[in-house]
Structure 1
């Protein structure tokens, strides 16, 4: 029973009539993880439980576009990852795919702060039958045409909103419309239009722009699939200070992702930059010398250097290490300022010139292979005819 593979395939794979992906040919387990968004690797699958411990009756079920919930296996069904199940919903039932079983489910619930005895954790009814899967696929095929018609109705009512996605419940009794909007929208008349047009129960759910990008997916400027649609589960706030700490130009075209907000990857290396900046003096501190006052113009976090320029001589920059800048600040605090920044730069240049760089290969010249080798002149050997001519005739005895 492979009909459910059409649900699992991503847009890159493109499914055929039989439900098998045309692209990766991996039957739903895409190598790029597009078919299995936000999946968790079960590294405890090959381990057996102790004899006195009961098997975990909680499972994780995935629905459309990475939406996941936790359910109780109250019927003690034999469930494996990839099984299609019918779960409790309000009203009716929904259809989803098992993505995680065993003890790791408790870890995921603790991570997402979901208690096992809470009302959010519903129960699993049964494994999906062929009839359940047929109804489920039929509803999935209606979603794209409904989305186009729903956008037309929203434009006709002049509502400042965007309907980004539609998700049908597994039994077809309810359709959830996901939309984004800058301000509060009065969609009471819109729900009436949708109910009359689509003849089903309507639920409107507002999501943020980051959640919209996570649901729809795509490829970022780095050439990889979006982090929010493949593995990122928490959306931390991203500010322009993260770009400033990393010495990035504040160009909104480069810093913004497909959601129109600042890229989430700006936070990935921010902690490392903040730790490195602890060794740097504050940039707003001016260096006091006898020649004049120097102001910081630029820093290089990787090399650990800072560039300063005298006030009024902004074109002449002097490269100093963080240790040198710290010494200058301490000297000015002790009221013993240095003469000028040129002295430190000259001392550093002298140290570089006096440094002997040795060749670990053995002092070999880099141009030793440029000159072609001279061929030794070969001695010409006489031919056999010449040898015969040179032989003297023998006298008769």
Structure 2
């Protein structure tokens, strides 16, 4: 560190799935990213993997609104081979215990879903993560599980978004879920975000793996809201001498809107947003324009699009042409070459 400054003693440690916590390196251990360490827990110790050290931890704590000077649990030591073996043994039992705990919940007719089980590093405690619509009385379930598994039980309720974050998966975009990779906070997502972006209100397309609206609907929402500030609203009515016109569709990227008369809804006319503002201003002055056709006729000229073929493979039947003559020429050329070599010899 420059000028003799001390290294920040905070360390970020990752446990199962995406659960991360901050600890103090009070022992002055030489830690690097990827080291397996034994950390302090409420009772006993836990085992995790170091993900950040040094000043980056201070930045991450400020980002997550954690005071860098707060009293944090400490790191005991680097995990020994005995600690790692015991930790792996507990991890291997999690799937079987999750299955048995679900069966116990079904027998007790509890309206809950146990989605994940996480063992503490020393194997003395297991945390069961579950989702439920309403409050669940699981006191009898805890007694049965403690008797069957012989460990201390902790039940922790999580939301559907947190469940998808812990389990992970691949989204409809083909990439790993944002919540399980980099997304740290869950902002509320409403159907208004889809309306502003002119998306189809189809629940099957807008919902993620958690069953809620996709978090990515908020990513471009601010850009759309900025673009819509000087854009006419979709409920705009234009008054002309031919009749009243209603907005049928808008495209904020191109800055155009489609209007149709009330008596002729099937015939759409394209107007720019500047033209719509001009007509609205005249309507505020209690003036009517002649028709929408006068504005729409001067907007866009049809472009003659010519398709070029840079590769030179236009014909679909280029592979169907007979190739016998070409082969005959090659054979004749080879025969002449052999005869010329024989004469030279």
Give the TM-score of the pair, scaled to structure 2.
0.87
- 1: CA distance, partners of 2:121 / 2:308: 71
Contact 2:62 2:68 in 1 (8 A): no
Q: CA offset at residue 243 of structure 1?
A: 0.5
- 1:198-277 aligned at under 5 Å gives the runs 198-277=149-228
2:38 to 49, 67, 86: 86
Distance in 1 between the 2:113 and 2:308 partners? 64
- Taking only aligned residues, the RMSD between alpha carbons, in angstroms, comes to 2.2
Distance apart, 1:366 and its partner CA: 6.3
Aligned-partner SS, 1:149: helix
Q: Does 1:102 align with 2:30?
A: no
Aligned residue number for residue 14 of structure 2: 62
Aligned twin of 2:284: 333
Higher percent of residues as helix? 2
Deviation at 1:99, TM superposition (A): 0.4
Query: How far off is 1:149 after superposition?
Result: 0.2
- Give the 4+ runs in structure 1 shifted more than 4 A: 364-367
Q: How does 1:119-268 map to 2 (within 5 A)?
A: 119=71, 121-268=72-219
1:108-123 mapped onto 2 (5 Å cutoff): 108-119=60-71, 121-123=72-74
Question: Pairwise mapping of residues 316-395 of structure 1 onto structure 2 (< 5 A)?
Answer: 316-348=267-299, 352=301
Residue aligning to 1:41: none
Shift of 1:339: 0.6
Distance change in 2, residues 1:325/1:123 (3 Å): same
Q: The residue matched to 1:192 in structure 2 has which SS?
A: helix
Gaps of 5+ in 1: 1-48, 371-397
Counterpart in the other structure of 1:306 = 257
Distance 2:275 2:167 in 1: 52
Could you tell me which residue of structure 1 aligns to residue 339 of structure 2?
Answer: none
Provide the rounded CA distance (Å) in 1 between the counterparts of 2:201 and 2:177: 21
CA distance in 2, matches of 1:334, 1:76: 77
Q: Which residue of 1 aligns with 2:29?
A: 77
Larger Rg belongs to? 1
Q: How many residues align?
A: 313
Deviation at 1:365, TM superposition (A): 11
CA offset at residue 222 of structure 1?
Answer: 1.2
Contiguous gaps of at least 5 residues in structure 2? 314-345
Cα 1:77–1:263 change in 2 (3 A) is: same
SS in 2 for 1:65: coil
The alignment partner of 1:70 has SS state of strand
